Amino acid sequence: MGRLFGTDGVRGEANADLTAELALGLSVAAAHVLAEAGTFAGHRPTAVVGRDPRASGEFLEAAVVAGLASAGVDVLRVGVLPTPAVAYLTGALGADLGVMLSASHNAMPDNGIKFFARGGHKLADELEVRIENLYEQHRGGEAWDRPTGAGVGRVTDYDEGFDKYIAHLMGVLPNRLDGLKVVLDEAHGAASRVSPEAFARAGAEIVTIGAEPDGLNINDGYGSTHMERLRAAVVEHGADLGVAHDGDADRCLAVDHRGEEVDGDQILAVLALAMREAGQLRKNTVVGTVMSNLGFKLAMEGEGIDVVQTGVGDRYVLESMKEHGYALGGEQSGHVIVLDHATTGDGTLTGLMLAARVAATGRRLADLAGCMDRLPQILINVPDVDKSRVGTSAELAAAVADAERELGATGRVLLRPSGTEPLVRVMVEAADIEQAKAVAGRLADVVKSALG
Q: Is 248 annotated as a binding residue?
A: yes
Could you tell me which residues are beta bridge partners of residue 305?
A: none
Residue 26, number of CB atoms within 10 A of its CB: 26
For residue 14, report the phi and psi dihedrals to the nearest 5 degrees: -65, 135
Residue from 27, 102, 104, 224 carrying the catalytic annotation: 104
pLDDT at 311 over 90: no
- Mind spelling out the 3-state secondary structure of 378-437? EEEEEECCCHHHCCCCHHHHHHHHHHHHHHHHHCEEEEEECCCCCEEEEEEECCCHHHHH
Class of CATH domain 5-161: alpha beta
Do domains 5-161 and 177-369 share one topology? The answer is yes
Nearest to 377 by CA among 266, 295, 302, 309: 295
CA pair distance 237, 181, nearest whole angstrom:
9
- How much of the chain is in helix, strand and coil states, percent to nearest 5? 40, 20, 40
β-strand 285-289 against 306-310: which pairing, if any?
parallel
Domain ranges of the chain: 5-161, 177-369, 377-451
pLDDT in tens, 70-114: 999 999 999 999 999 999 999 999 999 999 999 999 999 999 999
- Measured at the CA of 178, the angle between CA 176 and CA 184, to 5 degrees, comes to 90
- In CATH, the number for domain 377-451 is 3.30.310.50
Q: Is 104 annotated as a binding residue?
A: yes
pLDDT in tens, 281-309: 999 999 999 889 999 999 999 999 999 99
pLDDT at 14 over 90: yes
Q: Reply yes or no on whether 27 is catalytic.
A: no
pLDDT at 419 over 70: no
**Given pLDDT bands bounded at 50, 70 and 90, which one contains residue 1?**
very low
pLDDT in tens, 34-76: 999 988 988 999 999 999 999 999 999 999 999 999 999 999 9
Q: Give every CB contact of residue 302 below 8 A, 6+ residues apart in sequence.
A: none
- Candidates 3.40.980.10, 3.30.70.2860, 3.40.120.10, 3.30.365.10; CATH matching 177-369: 3.40.120.10
CA pair distance 452, 448, nearest whole angstrom:
5
Q: Is 246 annotated as a binding residue?
A: yes
- Put simply, whether the predicted model's pTM sits higher than 0.85 gets the answer yes
Average pLDDT over residues 262-278: 97
Least reliable range by pLDDT among 167-176, 328-337, 404-413: 404-413
